[in-house]
Structure 1
Amino acid sequence: MLTHVISQPVVAADVEPTAESPFYIAMVGQAARPRTVLKHDDTFLVIDSHGDLGTAVGADGLFNADTRYLAKLQLQIADVQPLLLGSNLRDDNSALTVDLTNPDIYRDGRLVLAKDLLHIVRTIFLWRGTAFQRVGLQNHGDAEASFDLTLDFDNDFADLFEVRGSVRPRRGEFVSRRLSSSEVIFEYRGLDHATRSTIVTFDPAPADLKVNRAVYQITLAPQQTVSVFVAVSCNKPAAQKLLPFFRSLLAHRREMRQTTSGGTTIETSNDIFNEVLCQAMADLNILTTETPQGRYPYAGIPWYSTTFGRDGLITALQMLWIDPRVARGVLRRLAAHQATAVDPLNDAEPGKILHEMRGGEMAALREVPFAQYYGSVDSTPLFVMLAGLYVERTGDDATLKELWPAIEKALGWIDGPGDPDRDGFVEYQRATEQGLQNQGWKDSYDAIFHADGKLAEGYIALAEVQGYVFAGKRLAALCARRLGLIDRADQLDNQAERLAAQFERAFWCEELGTYALALDGEKRPCKVRSSNAGQLLFTGIVRTDRARLVATDLMRPHFFSGWGIRTIACGEPRYNPMSYHNGSIWPHDNALIALGLARYGFKAAVENVFKGLFDAATYMELRRLPELFCGFQRERRRGPTLYPVACAPQAWASATPFTLLEAALGVHFNADHREIRLVNPRLPAFLNMVVLRDLRLGDSSVDLRIRRHGEGVSMEVLRTDGRIQVSIVLAR
């Protein structure tokens, strides 16, 4: 057997993270070839437009549980790279197809194969921890074609945080060897004593196989076709047999159809918006992962393909109206991993809801604190909030009874460790230097600051978190009443009322006409115009008279760029339209703001936000809204400016088009009365009609057609199944 030992595997970049942000994602250069992502459960693949891996420094690779299982796979014909004809991701994200052809190929200065005679098709998909690939070759020439097909491959078993830029002083032992004439294995014995393995299988066996290269000697008659199959498996026992390529592909697609059926489908009069919705749903489907507690939307690829508390909760909230099953899976999983003890390294305290989970070597060794990390100040109130909204949406008392102990523990954290100085506000400060410095959704080190640009210090109370607590307690009170806990319900309602009054006194900034971004450790307000105030509208904590001031400010040019609402208003200190959190545009942030605008009746503003993000999506690749994009002012005849390391797909960005439609239509559910109401419904000018099919409430469902008539709408019930009532409510 051949053995290939590597003492120092290649990592993505030898870049020191910034001192201010120990988990900074390095950006060392733009990849020359566009990248595509595939995912199935805990495995994902970042691959270039040619179907290759490892052609540039970055996140290329096959990853499983936060570890890279293949870092390089590159195809050559007669020792030259093929020419790209086209690269297409299947509409449901299940497979990538790449069409290639040969360049002019010379031997000893003589042309032996003219360009464009070979058609090379690479079909790639993921299923159950294995990346399957078929390389199909056809000779379109009128003469026989002989050439070598070479596949170079390698691996490093880099932890995802190494790929992101972290440098480790020590690593485990890495060995590769041939198992047979058609299989190579890469093995890594980590410092965590776990063994990780990659098996690369070729069918048929190549003419020559080494530990990092397979060579096929191909001869094709005119019009002849031949196929080469490659399977790359993560932690597969060597004796386990894989299903063949085509049987695996059919099983994968059948499984996808089964797991994605049952939600509401949406069709509109706008073909481009239909494409946006289809891509968004396809992205949500691949990001959603089977877990022991139910299906859970992982946050995003490549950096966040794991269980994140905040991201999962907000995504489930956004999808609640069309598929409440997502919320059930999220709530059950987060309840199962709720903190039970104090652990400063993990920022854990009893009752706290998870921030993120990681399965890589660095997390296992606590080189990073994220194996089960709880450094999120908003996950816990969002958990309570989503639980209440889920019960309100579904009337699912069985799940409520299952979740109630976790809800009470979360409320205990909110009123206890979450409010360390007992001033009535939930606050955060990381327990160790390894933790995240900022623990709201704007978690960049420089995201929370004062009007002079100075960073906030000490225990920080974020504005929107107080809103989440307010809404969570109101909804928990409704849940308590369903369970017959009347005294507890009254207590929660009283707490919410006191919080709302206290919040107005502490956070309202008369000179700004909006709410402070946060309070610092000395209770000084951070008097900065931020989108956080918009999320307050969503929670309902804002006084009605002040809601109009906030809404008006959000739609002024210093906030609204034409594409969306910026995280920080233009002109504020630290404003930078190219920053991660200080002036960029986040689709999910805008979606929650739109729900808030709708809550207070500002439907014209909802329409503006909806149109801006729809217009932005029309410029995006695949019509896919990314995690964020830059906050530059919109200009005629040019699209928005992209943010270079934004995740795409990202779960809460993918859910945004559905949330915007929910806000526009004003969809409300009353499960106990089997009633669906459209409150002040309004459609933007680019939508003349929306059809909702299989909109479910309990065991009943309805199909609706909504048509736009100027600023009003009409509704037609197309079908009902079971007992259900649908109405339009016009409220002032």
Structure 2
Amino acid sequence: MTILDERKLDPAVALAGLDDTAPREPHRQFALKHGDCFVVADAYGDIRGGGDGLFRDDTRVLSHFRLLVGERVPSLLGASLSQDNMIFTANLTNLPLTTLDGSATPQGVIYIERSRLLWEDRMFERIKLSNYSDREALVPLTLRFAADFRDMFEVRGSIRSRRGRDYDVETTEDSVSMRYEGLDKLDRHSTIAFSVRPDRILANRADFTMRLSKRGSETLFIEVGADRPAPPGRERYRAAAARARFGMRAKRRHGATVFSSGRVFNDWLSRARADIALLTTDLPTGPYPYAGIPWFSTAFGRDGVVSALQMLWLNPGLARGVLSFLAQHQATETSPFSDSQPGKIMHETRKGEMAVLRELPFGRYYGGVDTTPLYIYLACAYVERTGDMEFINSLWPSLCAAANWMEEASQQSSNGFVSYQRAAESGLSNQGWKDSFDSVFHADGTIPKGPIALVEVQGYVYAAYRGLAELALAREDASRAVHWTECAETMRKSVEEHFWMDDREFYALALDGDGRPCEVRTSNAGHLLFVGLPSPERAQRVSDQLLSASFHSGWGVRTLADDEILFNPMSYHNGSIWPHDTAICAAGLARYGVRDSLVRLLSGTFEAAVHFNMRLPELFCGFTRQPGEAPIAYPAACLPQAWSSGSVFMLMQACLGLEIDGLKGEIQVTRPRLPIGIDHLTIRRLSVGAAEVDLSFQRVGDRVVAYLDTRHEGLAPLIVRS
């Protein structure tokens, strides 16, 4: 049967106090993901239709999903994610209830446990009601729902001149089916099925009367998928939960694990590792960490590379998967619409209707100026970590094509730098990692004209050339090794000459199309330290400023110094704190021997994570830390975000001074430090060549010593430098 939507006729939404226009609060929302399907809901388990929803292949297939008890929102007791990120649970209880027959149920005697998981593009939900009163209770339960089938970019705010066709909702006695035919001629479906037949089922709601005996309980199972399943029930729910948890355990077993003497610190490590596993999708080319939920739950080039670099010392298999995917999707032609050129590495890929119709260029988009050199850098770091020259040899044509793109890009530039200027108006105006419209500016706040040469991008290019030269030597290709060495040195000298600001003792953010420097102090300079480009003297000056109050808020490194004209601690890129950026700056400080300050950065980041329930968001506000106050959330941040989750491991590696040389089969530790309050830390199953070892760090007085488990002595030499 077909029934029209009756939302406009029903006053229950207003009476229940449902506010679907309330702003999204990512730190109070909960996300689940499996493959290319994810769901974001609030602590009640409700989907309210803002930026939340159930998404499949970049389309929102469930835009409302709200539980009412007696036409009212139940009272929230608590909400949590399981440690493995597989099951969300909301703990709820009833407000006072009066049924049609006049019987009353007092507040707080019906316990409602709402559990949810995703498996194979389907959402499974279990709603268990338990009666703790001394009499039978009739509980009126309502589920309100809708599917708007909006493209991800529509959810983010894009306006379309026209859309496809919404079909009338079809209902059966125990299910509801919604359908949308896109302008791309693809049908998108969403079916909600119930284990219990509702008393009433309409296009946007299902009503139940749950009869609970004294001290008794009843359970309702729900499934949401593209088609009608076999009848939902306990066995299907348990089977999906078991498969989901088994799959997650398999993911989390990849690579080494870190354990410390700090229980709360271990909780952070465990949550971060679980978040990376949650975001990692198994593609035909191998594992790939999707960037973040909800806006970026897809393969991004830059984010994937950075996340792989963060995890490289623990799990090099992630880097191999990222490199394989990016090589397979490397550009082979020039297209202004997609900003592609031969050899360039992909920035972003999407599967939604707007991407398919080319309303936006992001079906496969190459508008990231830094992704190509970062791709080469990751390949070079991967072989140094693993010694896996066989894999690198298979990538060699791709790496050479990427290097050719870098050379051609610098040759086309008037100043010899790799720069960007979008080729089509539909593309990104700024194409570095700080890609908001106002993230690149002159000291007076004016937006520079392009093409733009970002300082950190030149550092990535320098590091890519250096790494390629070493790979060429390993392949006995002396002429290319010499050429790329010369390219790296030319870039290093040019950056030192054109970007250094003598009066500010810092590197400029960028050069504009006239070669004029954007004389602004930003955290981008910390990325130069990360790749080792600056001279030791200039690196020291940059380090001092990054650790000063202008940059270091107490929670992390701000993206912009607080005395710059466009500084705004609530902005996206002009004064906020991005954990991955802090981690990259910290790794850069470590490269130049700054050790004790790394402990401060790691501790501040850990303490921020504690306030965010052990889950660092994509970014948060850059206000100065005040005694007794928590960091301030950024309202539209992704949570979880892969490179935010991975930041703890990059910070940890920097503090430990740990490097693994897979070519030599050596572990090198330089002036190690442990986090504040941690006296012992062990890395288990750390791969070094063909061996796996357990490496421990122990605080002894004012020193930290590193040692291998006696079982592994001789398998992998440990070299400790004080």
TM-score range, shorter chain: over 0.9
- C-alpha distance in structure 2 between counterparts of 1:193 and 1:88, whole Å: 39
- 1:657 and 2:648 are equivalent in the alignment: yes
Q: Which of 683, 690, 697 is 1:692 aligned to?
A: 683
**Whole-Å separation in 1 of the counterparts to 2:140 and 2:544:** 66
Task: Give 1:551 shift.
Answer: 0.8
Report the secondary structure of 1:607's partner residue: helix
The 3-state SS of whatever aligns with 2:471 is helix
The letter of the residue matching 1:49 is: A
Deviation at 1:377, TM superposition (A): 0.4
Distance 1:619 1:710, change over 3 A: farther
Partners of 2:683 and 2:70 lie apart in 1 by 54
Note the 1:166-245 alignment, pairs <5 A.
166-178=158-170, 180-233=172-225, 235-236=226-227, 244-245=236-237
Q: Deviations over 1:200-224 (max 9, x none)?
A: 1111332333332222232221122
User: Does 2:664 align with 1:673?
Assistant: yes
Q: Distance in 2 between matches of 1:634 and 1:217?
A: 51
Q: CA deviation at 1:723?
A: 5.9
Give matches, 1:319-468, under 5 Å. 319-417=311-409, 419-421=411-413, 423-468=415-460
Residue 80 of structure 1: aligned partner = 72
The aligned residue for residue 504 of structure 2 is: 512
Matched to 2:448, the amino acid is A
Instruction: For residues 491-547 of structure 1, give each alpha carbon's deviation from its aligned partner in whole angstroms, at most 9, with x where no partner exists.
Output: 111211121112111111111101111111111111111111111000111111211
Contact 1:675 1:724 in 2 (8 A): no
CA deviations on 1:438-486 (whole Å, 9 max, x unpaired) are: 1000111111111222112111111010110111111111222222222
Aligned residues: 709
2:11 maps to what in 1? none
The residue type equivalent to 1:312 in the other structure is G
Q: Deviations over 1:609-640 (max 9, x none)?
A: 222212222222x2111111111111112122
Q: Which amino acid aligns with 1:631?
A: G
* Structure 2 unaligned residues grouped into runs of 5+: 9-20
Q: How far apart, CA to CA, are the structure 2 residues paired with 1:136 and 1:461?
A: 58
User: CA offset at residue 381 of structure 1?
Assistant: 0.3
* Match in the other structure for 2:135: 143
Contact 1:349 1:417 in 2 (8 A): no
Distance 1:617 1:161, change over 3 A: same
Match of 1:35 in 2: 29
Partner secondary structure for residue 141 of structure 1: coil
Give 1:221's aligned amino acid: S
How has the CA–CA distance of structure 1 residues 717 and 729 changed in structure 2, closer, same or farther, with 3 Å as cutoff? closer
Per mean C-alpha deviation after superposition, the further-off stretch among 589-598 and 103-112 is 103-112
- Residues 34, 120 of structure 2: 8 Å contact kept: yes
Structure 2 counterpart of 1:207, one-letter code: D
Task: Report the 3-state secondary structure (helix = DSSP H, G, I; strand = E; otherwise coil) of the residue aligned with 1:244.
Answer: helix
- 1:421 Cα shift? 2.3
Q: Distance in 2 between matches of 1:203 and 1:524?
A: 67
Change in 2 beyond 3 A, CA 1:240/1:675: farther
Query: CA offset at residue 193 of structure 1?
Result: 1.1
- More deviation, 431-440/256-265: 256-265
Determine the structure 2 residue equivalent to 1:16: none
**Partner deviation per Cα, 1:344-365 (whole Å, 9 max, x = no partner):** 1111111111111111111111
List alignment gaps of at least 5 residues for structure 1. 9-26
Q: Given that residues 528 and 588 in structure 2 are in contact (C-alpha distance below 8 angstroms), is that contact kept between their aligned partners in structure 1?
A: yes
The reply on whether 1:638 has 2:632 as its aligned counterpart is no
Q: Structure 1: which amino acid aligns with 2:342?
A: P
Runs of 4+ in 1 over 6 A off after TM superposition: 5-8, 237-243
Supply the AA of the counterpart residue of 2:248: M
Q: CA 1:711 to 1:511, structure 2 compared with 1: closer, same or farther past 3 Å? A: farther
Partner of 1:20: none
1:24 match: none
Aligned partner of 1:2 in structure 2 is 2
Identical residues among aligned pairs (%): 44
SS at 2:126 equivalent: strand
* Deviation sequence 1:316-370 (CA, Å, 0-9, x none): 0011000001101111011111111111111111111111111111111122211
Cα distance change on mapping 1:493 and 1:457 into 2, 3 Å: same
Q: Are 1:730 and 2:721 an aligned pair? A: yes
Tell me the amino acid that sits aligned with residue 40 of structure 2.
V
The residue that corresponds to 1:275 in the other structure is 267
CA distance in structure 2 between the aligned counterparts of 1:365 and 1:403, rounded to whole angstroms:
32
In structure 1, how many angstroms separate the alpha carbons of the residues matched to 2:329 and 2:307? 18
Q: Given the alignment, which residue of 56, 62, 77 partners 1:64?
A: 56
Give the equivalent residue in structure 1 for 2:44: 50
Q: TM-score normalized by structure 2?
A: 0.94
Aligned counterpart in structure 2 of residue 254 of structure 1, from 246, 250, 258: 246
Tell me, in whole angstroms, the C-alpha distance in 2 between the residues paired with 1:33 and 1:423: 44
The 1:50–1:632 alpha-carbon spacing in structure 2 relative to 1, beyond 3 Å, is: same
Q: Displacement of 1:719 after TM fit?
A: 5.2
2:709 to 702, 713, 718: 718
Q: Distance in 2 between matches of 1:563 and 1:166?
A: 33
Following the alignment from structure 2 to structure 1, what is the Cα–Cα distance between the partners of residues 270 and 411? 43
Q: What amino acid is the match of 2:28?
A: P
Residue by residue over 1:221-245, the C-alpha shift from the partner in whole angstroms, topping out at 9 and shown as x without a partner, is 1122221110001x34778999711
Give the alignment's Cα RMSD to 1 decimal: 2.2
Hey, what's the Cα distance between the residues in 2 that align with 1:404 and 1:475? Answer: 13
Return the alpha-carbon distance in structure 1 between the equivalents of residues 7 and 610 of structure 2: 47
Q: 3-state SS of the aligned residue for 1:631?
A: coil
Q: Counterpart amino acid of 2:678? A: L
d(CA) in 1 for partners of 2:232, 2:408: 53
* Preserved contact between residue 467 and residue 539 of structure 1 (Cα < 8 Å): yes
Q: 2:337 aligns to what SS in structure 1?
A: helix
Match of 1:367, SS state, is: coil
